[in-house]
Structure formats: C-alpha cells, structure tokens
Amino acid sequence: MKAATDVAMTSKTDRTKLARQFIEAIPHSRALGMELEEIGEGIAIISMPYDERFVGNPSTGVIHGGAVSALMDTCGGAAVMSHPDAPVGTATIDLRIDYMRAATPGQRIRARAECYHVTRAVAFVRATALDDDDDNPVAAATGAFTFQRAKEA
Amino acid sequence: MRKPEPVQVIKTRRDAALRRLVQSVPYIQYLGVQFDRRGDELTAVLPYREDLIGNPLLPAIHGGVTAAFLEITSIIELTWSSQWSDMEEGKLNGDTLPPMPKTIDFTVDYLRTGLPRDAYARARVNRSGRRYASVHVEAWQDNHDRIFAQATGHFLMPPREDG
C-alpha cells in the first residue's frame, strides 16, 4: 500500500518537474522574463515582470497586448502539460483574449491558467491575468490546445 | 487645376508617417517587426530570431510571438488607414504621437507550425466605425497560400478631436 502511494507521489513529482523543465526550456518565455510560480494538476501560475521594452502605448507606458498574449499562451500550455493524464506534448489550436483593462505600468503581471477538460486529443483551457489588484483582472483567455498522449505500448 | 505633387514628396511624407508610427512603440521595436509599404498597402515582416522560439524540439515560433505579431499588424493597419486622409491632406502633426486604438478582444487561430524563418502578415479592416473596429489578419511564411495563423480582433478607436 505504502509502495503504491510512493509510486503515485513520484509520478506526480516527476510530472511537475517535467512541466517546469518544459517551460524553462522555452527561449521566448525566458526572453520575456517569465517565472513559473506554481504548477500541478492542470493548473499553472506564471508571472512576467514589467519591462519598458514591452510597452505598447508610449504615452501611457502600458504593456502591449502581445506580451500579455505570450504570457497567457505559455501559461495555458503549462497548465495542459501538468494535467494528470500526462500528455507528451501540446500546441495551441486557438486562443481568445479579452482585454478588460490596461495593466498598471510598473506592476508584475501574473497569469493563472486551468486546463478544465481534456478529450482524447484536445485540452480546453481558461486563464486570467492579474496585476497587483487581485479583484480586477487585466485580461481573460479561453483556448483549445492539442493533447498529445503517449503511444500505448 | 493644381499641379500634382512630385512623387518623391508624397513618398517621403508617407514613409515618415509610417516610421513615426512604428518607431513609437517599444514592443514593436523589441520584436523587430518592420513594415513594407506599397501605396497604402502594408505588409508586416517579422525577421526570425532564436529567442522567438516557443518549442525548441520542433523547433517552432512561440504562439505568443505569433499572436503579438498579428496584433501589432492589426493595430498599425488600423491606425495607418484611419490617419491616411489626414496624412494626405498634410494635417498630421509630426510632433505628437498618433493616438492608438485599444484592443477589446483578439482571437488567434493557429493553422500550422510557425517555422524558424521570417514571417509576413497583412491585416484588413473589415469595419471601422466611430468607436469600434473589426480587423482580420493573416500571416504566412515562405508560401503566401499556406497561411500559418490568422486572427480577428475588435478595437476601441481613440476619440477624434474633430468630434
């Protein structure tokens, strides 16, 4: 019984480790300074620092939507990779982002994505992006991702 | 009958207006997106760089880079087309930055893997009203017939000074 629990624990730790490696090996996510804060069981939290190079509106200093898209996409992919069904790979099929308000200049942006359903080949994801104001999301996203399962032996 | 403007004067004015627009946005400079102009038609170019990669195993361009490239192309096209007549009449103020539309929502369709090479995109403004605009954009790489991503976005237009 204990052995079985150990096996389960190990595989969960391995999955988390795998997912972390998956994200840290993404050149563009690294270029944007993304940091993995939490991951596991189909949920991922990734944050990105404010950086003047990523400004989209020079008169307000607000970060470009494109940088928020990159964060949402990475976080969505990470959530899929951490799903208990343990996919071996994923790619975005589509991603819709609603921009609810401008992110406050100078603040870190934190995305939380949840892979809320998977089929044999598709994963469905919801995500929100927040700055220091936890009660008013900056953006929300919904997306479909491919769900590549390991070939059965 | 007024004598038509010399072609070089027209080109200089248009290129300067486009340059001012593109160079004013730090994130466009960061990604290295450039714009080719033929008359009023713009083609965005994203020169390939290693740090644009999202999947090192394939390798493939990051989905977020593709989304950003499409969104940049949409916003520049929208701003460009809405300032076109002012620009042609010489009414553009060269000292102030043009007001930018704000993205309301943006939906990207990933059709194929973005390959590790240059990408191109063109946007079409399907509807541009006083307050809202709808833009469709497509991106391709080597072969224009093989679009690798497309997107539709809705934008809130900046208030016009002339009301």
Q: What pTM, to 2 d.p., does this model score?
A: 0.92
Strand, helix or coil for residue B85: helix
pLDDT band for A23, please (50, 70, 90 cuts): confident
**Distance of alpha carbon A136 from alpha carbon A49, whole angstroms:** 18
The closest of B62, B67, B44, B45 to B116, measured between CA atoms, is B62
Nearest to B63 among A25, A31, A92 (CB): A92
pLDDT at A109: 97
pLDDT at B4: 83
pLDDT at A73: 96
**Distance of alpha carbon B125 from alpha carbon B155, whole angstroms:** 11
Chain-centroid distance of CA A147 in Å reads 15
Percent of chain A at pLDDT exceeding 70:
88
pLDDT at B1: 64
Cβ-Cβ pairs closer than 8 A, A with B, add up to 130
Mean pLDDT, chain B cut into blocks of 10 residues (163 residues total): 83 92 95 96 97 90 96 97 89 77 97 96 96 98 97 93 57
Residue type, A42: G
| Cα dihedral B121, B58, A145, A140 sign | negative
**Distance of alpha carbon A16 from alpha carbon A34, whole angstroms:** 17
pLDDT at A135: 95
Calculate the CA dihedral of residues A127, A133, A138, A141 and round it to 10 degrees. 10
H/E stretch holding B83? helix B63-88
Domains of chain A (ranges, CATH numbers): 2-146 (3.10.129.10)
pLDDT at A2: 44
**Distance of alpha carbon A123 from alpha carbon A77, whole angstroms:** 9
pLDDT band for A152, please (50, 70, 90 cuts): low
Strand, helix or coil for residue B144: coil
pLDDT (tens digit, 9 = 90+) per residue, A58-112? Answer: 889 999 999 999 999 999 999 999 999 999 989 999 999 999 999 999 999 999 9
The verdict on a CB contact (< 8 Å) between B104 and A98 is yes
Nearest to A53 among B26, B53, B55 (CB): B26
Strands, E assignment, chain A: 35-40, 43-48, 55-57, 62-63, 92-99, 109-118, 122-130, 139-146
Residue A46 sits at the chain B interface (C-beta within 8 Å)? no
**Distance of alpha carbon B116 from alpha carbon A35, whole angstroms:** 24
Chain-centroid distance of CA A118 in Å reads 16
pLDDT at B15: 94
Domain B7-156, second-level architecture: Roll (3.10)
